[in-house]
Amino acid sequence: MSAVLRLNLLVAGVFTAVLVITLYFMLGQAAKDIKREVVAGVSFTHQLLTLAGENEVLLKEVLGGDSRHVQLEMAENLAAFEQLDRAEPDDEEAPAWFINLIPGIEPIVDKAYYRYLPDGRVLRLKADPSDELGEVWESVQQVLFLFGLSVVLSNLAIYLGVRQGVRPVADFLAALHAIEKGQYTARLDRYGVSEVNSIAEHFNAMAEALEEAQSDNSRLTHELLRLQETERAHLARELHDDLGQYLAGIRAHAYLLQQRGDDKAVVQSVGEHVAQHCDAMQQSFRALIRKLHPVILAQLGLAEAIRTQVDRWQQTYSHLHVEMMIDEPLPLFDDETNTHIYRVVQEALNNVAQHAKATRVRVRLSAVDGQLSLLVEDNGNASPPSRNKTGLGLRSMSERARCMEGELQFEQRQGQGTWLSLTVPIREIEYEDIDC
């Protein structure tokens, strides 16, 4: 059952209850009025007949007059009244079922008075409330008509009003279905109600945010795929150009040993070259492993791993002066959280080296008020912030902050450098329910 139909039925039920109560009191008051009017008419006619009983002229005027609330008839005897009653048509103005609804009306209708004249004729005085009943019936019909008209108009107004009010709801549902199907371009129009307009504006803002997030996710996916292929190509070049050459050299020296194994000087020289190649291979492997995974975290811990990372970074970019402050002891985090923090520092420093054109960098790591706080800022010439385009590095740092249930803030101040802040709650963090 629709909401409009339920509301219409409710209104009709309320009007029906009011109508029943109104008719109940109306019929009760009508019974009192009819009884009072009819009794007064009968009493007055009795007094009039007392005077006209011996005056034939006055009696004819009384019988021929238009008496209200009483029925005055004359017959030769009582039996003639029975024939007269059978011959009279039933021309009551109100239907019988309605008359039966009026309480206490039967004794008044059925009551009759007989008066015998000196010449033997009989006068019958009978209460006649038909005029009053007709008036009450007309009033009831008017009330029924007004109530019926009110019900129709009220339901029509409710239907039109609710239909107008339900239209935004239908639009909302259609837009939500579109959003559910991934159609984030769905928008709502303006409506005539300010509250609905406010909801529509919030919905449109949400849809725009989802559309922008979808666009960012798509761009991020493309960037990740491109970065993945770049990393694979870089790894292949590292293995081929570096490790592959050392392996080829070792193989050549092994072949030389097979051919000149009896020459002690050759064996010693070849052994020295093989040892050098193995050392170089080991260093290359360590550098490659450090790029793929920060093993140093498990060996030294978070604070010392970040110090080592910053020292190596400054050795690479010797023209940048680094101020590093780490408040110890730092709280103990799980391996995943330590990796996230380490990678955020790494990505922030790489952004400074590639984009900031800075001469000084400050790295601050501290634990205050139940939070781990990381601050990386430089004095470079930051480019104006872009509203619709976010770099892959910043997106990856934001995702890492979300996985740690932390907050990442990034600000580019024109002519004053870049400021990046990461806060992570110091507590045992569960990652099972977080989509990272």
Q: How far apart are CA 264 and CA 270, in angstroms?
A: 10
Q: How confident is the model at residue 364 (pLDDT cuts 50, 70, 90)?
A: very high
The end-to-end CA distance of the chain, in Å, is: 45
The answer to whether the Cα torsion of 124, 127, 132, 133 is positive or negative is negative
Model pLDDT, residue 17:
92
Tell me the pLDDT tens digit for each residue of 46-100: 666 665 555 566 666 666 655 666 766 766 666 666 655 555 555 556 787 877 7
Give the mean model confidence (pLDDT) for residues 172-181: 84
Tell me the pLDDT tens digit for each residue of 225-259: 777 777 777 777 777 767 777 777 777 778 777 77
DSSP line for 369-403:
TTEEEEEEEE-S-PPPPPSS---HHHHHHHHHHHH
Q: Specify the pairing of strand 407-413 against strand 371-378.
A: unpaired
The answer to whether the Cα torsion of 254, 255, 259, 263 is positive or negative is negative
3-state SS, residue 32:
helix
CB 418 within 8 Å of CB 356: yes
| Residue type at 24 in one-letter notation | Y
Q: Which residues pair with 409 in a beta bridge?
A: 421
Q: How far apart are CA 412 and CA 253, in angstroms?
A: 56
Q: Which residues pair with 410 in a beta bridge?
A: 420
Predicted TM-score of the model (pTM): 0.48
Model pLDDT, residue 432:
45
Q: Which of 39, 43, 37, 31 is nearest to 105 (CA)?
A: 31
Is residue 369 exposed (0-12), middle (13-18) or buried (19+ Cβ within 10 Å)?
A: exposed
Q: How far apart are CA 54 and CA 336, in angstroms?
A: 126
Backbone phi and psi for residue 366, each to the nearest 5 degrees, phi listed first = -150, 160
Provide the CATH number for the domain formed by 300-425 in this structure.
3.30.565.10
278-282, 290-294, 383-387, range with greatest mean pLDDT: 278-282
3-state SS, residue 196:
helix
Q: Specify the pairing of strand 70-75 against strand 122-127.
A: antiparallel
| Residue type at 337 in one-letter notation | T
CB count within 10 Å of CB 157 equals 11
Q: Give the contacts of 210 (CB within 8 A, at least 6 positions apart).
A: 179, 184
CB count within 10 Å of CB 187 equals 14
Q: Is residue 260 over pLDDT 70?
A: yes
Backbone phi and psi for residue 262, each to the nearest 5 degrees, phi listed first = -85, -5
DSSP line for 135-194:
HHHHHHHHHHHHHHHHHHHHHHHHHHHHHHHHHHHHHHHHHHHHHHTT-TT------SSH
Kindly state the helix (H) or strand (E) to which residue 279 belongs, with its residue range.
Answer: helix 264-292
Q: Is residue 150 over pLDDT 60?
A: yes
Model pLDDT, residue 436:
53
Give the mean model confidence (pLDDT) for residues 141-162: 86
CB 324 within 8 Å of CB 310: yes
- Which regions of 233-359 does DSSP assign to beta strands (E)? 321-326
Which two tokens mark 297? Answer: 């975290």
Q: How far apart are CA 108 and CA 191, in angstroms?
A: 64
CB 419 within 8 Å of CB 391: no
Model pLDDT, residue 410:
87
Q: Which of 191, 139, 202 is nearest to 165 (CA)?
A: 191
The mean pLDDT of the chain is 77
Q: Which of 402, 318, 322 is nearest to 364 (CA)?
A: 322
Which two tokens mark 113? Answer: 């008075």
Q: How confident is the model at residue 119 (pLDDT cuts 50, 70, 90)?
A: low
CB 247 within 8 Å of CB 278: no
